[in-house]
Amino acid sequence: MHDERRRIEERVERLHNQRIKPAIHAAAVPFEVSAWQAPGEPVPFEEAAAAAYEPFAMDTPWGPPWGTTWFRMRGRVPAEFAGRRVEAVIDLGFTGDWPGNQAEALVHLVDGTPLKAVNPLNQYVAIANPAAGGEVIDYLVEAASNPDILANDFAAPTPLGDVLTAGDKPLYTFRRADIAVLDEEVFHLDLDVQVLRELMLELGEHDPRRHEIMHALDHAMDLLDLDDIPGSAAAVRAALKPALSKPAHASAHRISGVGHAHIDSAWLWPIRETKRKTSRTFSNVTSLADEYEEFVFACSQAQQYEWVRDNYPQVWARIQESVKKGQWAPVGGMWVESDGNLPGGEAVARQFVHGKRFFMEHFGVETKGVWLPDSFGYNAAYPQIAKLAGNEWFLTQKISWNQTNKFPHHTFWWEGIDGTRIFTHFPPVDTYNARFSGAEMSRAVRNYAEKGGATRSLAPFGWGDGGGGPTREIMERARRLRDLEGSPRVEVEHPDAFFAKARAEYEDAPVWVGELYLELHRATYTSQARTKQGNRRSEHKLREAELWATTAALHAPGYRYPHEKLDRLWKTVLLHQFHDILPGSSIAWVHREAEAEYARVARELEALTAEAVTALGGGTARVFNTSPYDRAEVVRDSAGTPVYVEVPASGSAPLTAAAEAPRPVTVDGRVIDNGLVRVEIAEDGTLSSVYDLRAHREVLVGQGNLLRLHTDLPNYWDAWDVDKHYKNRYTDLLDPSEITVVDADPLLGSVRITRPFGNGSTITQTVTVRAGSPRIDFETDIDWHEAEKFLKAGFPVDIRAAHSSAEIQFGHVQRPTHTNTTWEAARFEVPGHRWVHLAEPGYGVAVINDSTYGHDVSRTVRDDGGTTTTVRLSLVRAPRVPDPGADQGRHRFTYSLLPGASIGDAVAAGYALNLPLRVADAAGAPEPVVSVSGEGLTIEAVKLADDASGDVVVRLYESRGGRAQGVLRTGFPLADAQVTDLLERPLETADTEGDTVAVALRPFQILTLRLRRSGTGQ
């Protein structure tokens, strides 16, 4: 037989695209359209309905960036359309085929009822099926003219990312607003041809099935009347039916399709636009559920549900009904799909607490799994946190983006730092926006790493990132692929059903231990430094407010614990941990608003803490220590005079000097000495020496606190990525304009160093050593005006460290300092929280910070045989896409060097730097709410129970990586104690004696205790 593949394939492609597709809505009449441009921000439906509309013609430009235009569309269904399926078809002037980053609209009836959204891949709104003819149609359409920030493939900065800079030139040209007949036979023919053609192209050229489909398509096209596509469609479909009816092989891979619409809570659009995106997508989804009874839609992010509940009650009611019918599956159990590395441990816990409670309260559903397809790596504490929140499975997708190493599993047990394992799946389809194309189905089978051990995978389907969701076309593909020879079997089902089946057949799945590190998007640990600082400080201010509010609730008559305010503030912080806000990968508008929100949160939390402290009584200056460790530290009184005080963990003490004064600090030119460490500052402003007087050893090898400015232009994704070549070009900042002694007090010594550099930027650092502490602080003030640069601060230390330890949520991870394999080499930039620790047997050094996350660690062997291990903190970047002004302006933060530090010292110092001692008037001296004895036992949160019972909830963990035993003592009469999950539900009774609870934890174990007070009646 002659090889006619090219002729047939090209014939089928042309007839499908140029003749069949255009005939789906061939019969149409135009709407009468008028328009009203809303001034400024979006307006309620009622205001738009009352506005004055002006006639609007097709092919007219409309829509300034971030504007809202309301269109009124009126028409009548022609009599000749009677008995047929009639729809409105609307093309706002869509560009490309991505629904999330351009024009979108929500169609309403004139009474305000939302019907359905339109976007590039979903342009219809159902009118009648069958139509009677003569129906009057009257719609109000809210159209958003969101700009395409991704235009030019991120090649250049754009001013469109903020309403303040975007201008007012119309972005779109309205193309179509018709009442049209959906020719159902042609619609189905279109899908028949698509599915068969795509399957054919994925099969091997020697596969008989490929040739069978090819000839079936060729024969069918002979039956297509080019002058009457609708009239011949049935005959063409009949000719294709045998090819579509052949069942899949018995061993065919099984794909569980789960409807999905990934909606970034902010990214290339502001939060206000996401609120509208949810209504559009959820309207589409509930409409689709009415058409396809087998449809199941999985949706995470309780915050987005709350937005719909508050702003679109009719859509909310439809969601509730879909949940009852089993077609809508709340998943994930988190407030938002947060970043996987940067939120603190308690914040990750609260993501689950607030998310799961929302779903239980409003739907009676307890979610069973973690749904995080798009975050940029996942910390190694997740398995334990997820299980403690009642989860059974974990789903992610993003690791498929790895730049260097292919992740070896798709279904596996993920083991966290404490030993907890959770059943995890990583879909081999390699997208969370699947559409069941032939290429996707082929890739899922080809890519699947568990062949021979397991037979099934999951595919989240539907248009996403900016929403859109599943479409009827995708559902039709799923139906055709349910049992089709040459393709994997596709079944649409609940993700819980998939995970149950997957675990049942693969209980002995392989184990992955430790973090799921994404070998890409490493710059998200640093970009938009002020956003990250706002998060870090909010987390610690929330801890502080909860602790002192609990103290006041227990000891101050008449004080009421601010449950509602704290709940609201927590949710604000959790929202901004979304995986495109906290990582710094959103447009300027998002980060401008985030900084304002963090400032508001700080003000409110300061007021709540002050109110709680004041409730304890006024009159005497006291020092309050929110840290879980006792502190002996220098603070300043109201006159600014330094005072050396001792304050118990989670307690307070009078603002009076400690009984035993530490050795005084001396400042001699550029040398600061406090008897524990001696710091020498060179003429170039770096540290020439840090000598540990206790250990009698020099800490540094080379220039300490070396500020290095790198050229930083990644291959792609500017705000997200830092590529390895950034290290090859740099400037060391070694020309200070001023070095000045600013403090020479017996309790503290400080030297200020000012460095102008680059494009008008300045760094001012105050190096401070305090009495009684080996910690060296670098208080940093940067006026930053660089572009495409990356600033780091490096400390080369004389330590042969086999690994570095970096704090993560409820513990720490160890990472090798060598690069023996591509896995280690790929970790050239890594995340950490409050500290990084380097050690050799007998000696360690920690670098502490109050707001940075990214760092790198490397080591070299010197000519003398010694080893230099260098840790460098990533301070600030200057990407230009998607925010051309990212990180510009003022930054203030502190980092510290702690010589002679153990892991325990690093933990305590991390808390201390991030939780400064608070000086306030308070007459009372109440005992700490709780205190704990036992090395490694660390209290993370103290609060009142969320159910307003008055019970005290304490969360603690083992922080050093070893077993810990000890006693927790309450500062109030204890009736009993329960071990609970994160949602404060009892798991078992704790071992108590009097006002104490016995505690025994495995390495990095998290423990939540619910403490009932005597006399509360609970």
Q: Which of 148, 178, 192, 374 is catalytic?
A: 374
The distance of Cα 718 from the centroid of its chain, to the nearest Å, equals: 18
Contact yes or no for 770/794 (Cβ under 8 A): no
The predicted structure's pLDDT at residue 619: 78
Average pLDDT value for residue range 161-180: 97
Q: Specify the DSSP element, H or E, that contains 188.
A: helix 184-202
The predicted structure's pLDDT at residue 679: 98
Read off the amino acid at residue 627: S
Q: Residue 1001 — pLDDT band, cuts 50, 70, 90?
A: very high
If one counts every other C-beta atom within 10 angstroms of the C-beta of residue 863, the result is: 5
Q: Specify the DSSP element, H or E, that contains 696.
A: none
Average pLDDT value for residue range 800-824: 98
DSSP structural state of residue 460: E
Q: In what order do the strands lie in the sheet with 992-993?
A: 930-933, 964-970, 996-1001, 992-993
Residues 983, 987, 991, 995: what is their CA dihedral angle, to the nearest 10 degrees? 30
- Helix ranges, 253-331 (H): 271-291, 302-311, 313-325
Q: Which residue has the higher pLDDT, 925 or 935?
A: 935
Least Cα distance to 830 among 341, 347, 339, 340 occurs for 341
941 pLDDT exceeds 70? yes
Least Cα distance to 331 among 396, 245, 406 occurs for 396
312 to 581, 805, 854: CA distances (angstroms):
24, 48, 40
Q: Residue 1016 — pLDDT band, cuts 50, 70, 90?
A: low
1017 pLDDT exceeds 90? no
100 pLDDT exceeds 90? no
What are the pLDDT digits (tens) for 851-888?
999 999 999 999 999 999 999 999 999 999 999 999 99
**Whole-number mean pLDDT of the chain?**
97
924 pLDDT exceeds 80? no
55 pLDDT exceeds 50? yes
The predicted structure's pLDDT at residue 1018: 43
Q: Specify the DSSP element, H or E, that contains 615.
A: helix 588-615
153 pLDDT exceeds 80? no
Contact yes or no for 919/635 (Cβ under 8 A): yes
Q: Residue 150 — pLDDT band, cuts 50, 70, 90?
A: confident
190 a catalytic residue? no
Residues 491, 496, 501, 504: what is their CA dihedral angle, to the nearest 10 degrees? 170
Average pLDDT value for residue range 206-226: 97
**Which range has the worst mean pLDDT, 97-111, 451-465, 782-796, 893-907?**
97-111
What are the pLDDT digits (tens) for 631-655?
999 999 988 999 999 999 999 999 9
First to last CA, the chain: 85
Average pLDDT value for residue range 396-412: 97
Cα separation of 285 and 280, whole Å? 9
204 pLDDT exceeds 70? yes
627 pLDDT exceeds 70? yes
Instruction: State how beta strands 54-55 and 32-38 pair.
Output: antiparallel
Average pLDDT value for residue range 717-744: 97
Contact yes or no for 490/482 (Cβ under 8 A): yes
Handedness of CA 471, 473, 477, 478 (dihedral sign): positive
The distance of Cα 531 from the centroid of its chain, to the nearest Å, equals: 13
- pTM for the structure as a whole: 0.98
Cα separation of 996 and 930, whole Å? 9
The predicted structure's pLDDT at residue 1: 67
* Tokens standing for residue 597: 């929100």
Name the burial class of residue 656, with classes exposed (0-12), middle (13-18) and buried (19+) by CB atoms within 10 angstroms of its CB. Answer: middle
- Give percent above pLDDT 70 in the chain: 100
Cα separation of 178 and 169, whole Å? 26
Average pLDDT value for residue range 364-391: 98
What are the pLDDT digits (tens) for 189-202?
999 999 999 999 99
Burial 123-140 (b: 16+ CB within 10 A, else e): bbbebbeebebebebebb
* Tokens standing for residue 67: 């504007």
Q: Residue 611 — pLDDT band, cuts 50, 70, 90?
A: very high
Average pLDDT value for residue range 525-551: 98
Residues 311, 317, 320, 322: what is their CA dihedral angle, to the nearest 10 degrees? -120
Name the burial class of residue 815, with classes exposed (0-12), middle (13-18) and buried (19+) by CB atoms within 10 angstroms of its CB. Answer: middle
Contact yes or no for 586/552 (Cβ under 8 A): no
586 pLDDT exceeds 90? yes
